[in-house]
Amino acid sequence: MPLTVLDRRSVEAANEAIRRYVAGRRSWSRAELAELDRLRGIWQAARQGRQDFPARRLLNEE
């Protein structure tokens, strides 16, 4: 099924969150890697069109 405009925005927002998070980093702590994994999970869910990862999770407001 093709992505809708809203789905595309979710994917783009998740992708941008990952880009901002990794910008300029050279080394990673375990906590930082865990956060990167969390952001990646949100990105994957958005790409699949899943609704169980709301946008507020990008900001860690669970």
pLDDT score at 29: 92
pLDDT score at 6: 56
Say what the pTM is: 0.63
Phi, psi dihedral angles at 24 (to 5 degrees) = 80, 0
Band of the pLDDT at 49, cuts 50, 70, 90?
A: confident
CA distance 49 to 1: 9
- Out of 11-20, 24-33, 49-58, pick the least confident: 49-58
